A and B are shown apart, each in its own frame.
Chain A
């Protein structure tokens, strides 16, 4: 994306002529708005965006974007996006996926995209349920959740998205809440700017089949106390009156109250998203209510060589050394003989 020129867009430029068909009240509407705002900010020519999705409610997303889009098959968007980006590193490639699409049927492609560090932006809409098939539990559903396929409660342990991303050697992980447009827009911009696989977990509400599942941490009256928004270089403070913070005690994170036992802001952990050692990022990504606030913002952002760059550089290196410049050279090279 060397030619990031001053192309002026507004969010409206990214709206397609298709009628948006998600349920009224679905969190996806807000994500769509935030992504359109973010794209307008990036200054990348519109034709260079490609939105790739799999199957699920969120995967309808490309139809609503006036960009190149590919609504593919269940679970495979990471692999298709990998092909698009490797084929043309000049593109800005976005994968839109859900907890079922990315972590169940597409789990293998998801972890390998991250492992390769291909420069794609994965927005994972996590509503902890299968919506399009009308309400079955997903790999992120909390243990015990009663759904149509778990009428007596699930007996499965859920995945934590951040844990999986970091376990797959992920270099960028962020978390946001669907309805928080300002935070989401900022995070999508940062995900786009990060070179390498960026995974953004969006705590997204399914108004029909798992309504208010995130409310316990994201509802207006509790969110300040139950979430912490991490910003690189800033102390980890949260709470309605910014009265709480995080420190490291022994090998664990701990919530402390400022002013108690002589604790001041200077005692709090300062967020370093660029630290390559994933230890603290792992702990931050895994913080869960009620012991901890849930971390939002860019939790981890570590630059590294991207897959498509390495592939392209290797091709150039081989090309520059080889005497074979075209097919005829290859055909006639090596061990041949002439029949007169």
Chain B
């Protein structure tokens, strides 16, 4: 490889690949991040794509992006502002320019800055001049023409030629970050194994981009990100959706059960169903149902028949599943419902992130209808909380809603692969075949959970249903019985608190300010709190994964801080829930509903304001 004359070591860097949704930006970003991971960087990625599969070419609405945040130290979020923006057309500049750091670098394909494309992006003549990008390092690379030049002797059709231009951009970025090409070359060989000429073209263009970047002076200095000091083990990159599916599959294996998923495709949750469908080798039964309601109802049928039952959806689908969740509460059948939250209400922002389904998960059903609610906080810990959701469902005979979000679902990060033997035991509450007659609603004293008998078990035939019933399972309209059963079902969910860990506090256990979050905003909050600590502020973080019931130490944690700031991507649903549960504290709020995560500056400014307003 070429020697770099000037190399700057950086702790971390954020790169955003951006272009038309047909430009191959998701693949480019994935290849870059996989290479970084192989070199031992910690990283976090996020794909940002339009809801339309192929929005009008060159339009701002059609811009597809992939952001990679990699570092020599621990990385907990995909990053808000980017150091390097790769823009394949003018619309990519328009869509992303506000997210480029001061002093950052923009690489753009100047061949694609035609009058037509400039106009489509909403510029008059010159996007670079109109955006006043003086403080930035601008590299106007003639990517399209250089790709054509590099492949002119290959005899490929023009369409195939131009399709390789993302590899040119990738080659440039590889040089900029002092990366080797072998991983990507191997990938190309494998992907195009049946089309060697296409594989060859892609490799030629990748190298052409690399050498072009090396040749032009403008790209200096080169950044080097040294490997992160991460713990020993075998790693892989994993997305939140895949981790969710794998966590549930792991739980099924641990519990000695087959898994059944009934789901209906919905962005951004579809990846979960796809992941299950792809792993039939582990006995996974996946049913793509006719609608959201059938998704949960087939799963509930499977639960009645003795499987680990799962349904996955997003906010609109959770709304449709409400009645069936109520049935699961009433019949006390184990089922895991995953809601990958997206911007709402209604169809809202299908590909953007939000945390606004919390109240729906907690309360969105008729009658007194408590369920266990968990939330995952990173792409890889979707595995852990999916596993926990299944454990709680099976051991406590209750539906569990697991909240993730669009950011977690599609984001990826390196994940130290767990070994099955290290995961918690899961003991489903199978009924005793000798206990005849079987009373479906007989409970144990500790958990108040009933036992699970399913068709095929001789002698335990019984009926369950959505009507109120006595402890024996007989339908009952007796007023006192109804109230008693309501109380028992609520108490059963409350007692799950005895079987979950305490709320951890990151930072000092007492102090001036506790930042409180839940679920997917964890990475941003953690990064902000760490930076504040380095700047000398006394701030700690408590991020909730167990939301209903709460861990038992919440009050104890809260009373050790002077102020509590609840940060969430909604109008204050979690803060309101805390106000219901822990009325003695007062809660400051930081809220955002733009379909985007917090920026670090937003979190830090709010914290500093609160700290200085003593």
Contacts and interface: CB of A to CB of B under 8 A. Distances in A.
B460 A80 contact: no
B327 A311 contact: no
A257 interface: no
Nearest to B327: A73
B367 to A, nearest CB: 12
8 contacts: A50-B304, A69-B462, A71-B467, A76-B324, A79-B290, A79-B297, A91-B455, A338-B233
Nearest to A311: B285
Interface in A106-142: 108-109, 112
Interface string B244-278: 00100110010000101010000000000000000
Nearest to B460: A47
A113 B231 CA distance: 50
A88 B460 CA distance: 17
Q: How large is the interface on A (under 10, 10 to 19, 20 to 34, 35 or more residues)?
A: 35 or more
Given A47-B459, A335-B34, A68 B454 contact: yes
Nearest to B307: A87
A171 interface: no
Given A62-B463, A76-B293, A88-B305, A48 B324 contact: no
Contact of B475 (A46, A63, A82): A63
B235 A108 contact: no
A152 interface: no
Given A47-B458, A68-B463, 10 more contacts: A68-B462, A73-B327, A79-B289, A79-B293, A86-B301, A87-B302, A87-B305, A315-B280, A328-B420, A331-B418
Interface string A81-109: 11111111011000000000000000011
Contacts of A188: none
A87 B284 CA distance: 10
A327 interface: yes
Interface stretch (A156-164, A210-218, A280-288, A318-326): A318-326
A330 B279 contact: yes
A16 interface: yes
Nearest to A81: B301
Q: How large is the interface on B (under 10, 10 to 19, 20 to 34, 35 or more residues)?
A: 35 or more
Contact of A330 (B249, B285, B302, B454): B249
A336 B262 CA distance: 30
Contacts of B459: 47
B466 interface: yes
B306 to A, nearest CB: 7
A69 to B, nearest CB: 4
B281 A47 contact: no
Nearest to B463: A69
Contact of B280 (A63, A67, A85, A319): A319
Contacts of B230: 339
Contact of A314 (B280, B306, B326, B460): B280
B324 A73 contact: yes
Interface string B516-527: 000000000000
Given A70-B465, A315-B285, A76 B297 contact: yes
A337 B301 contact: no
B283 interface: yes
B463 A86 contact: no
B456 A88 contact: yes
B304 A70 contact: yes
Given A335-B34, A340-B232, A73 B466 contact: yes
Contacts of B40: 339
A83 B262 contact: yes
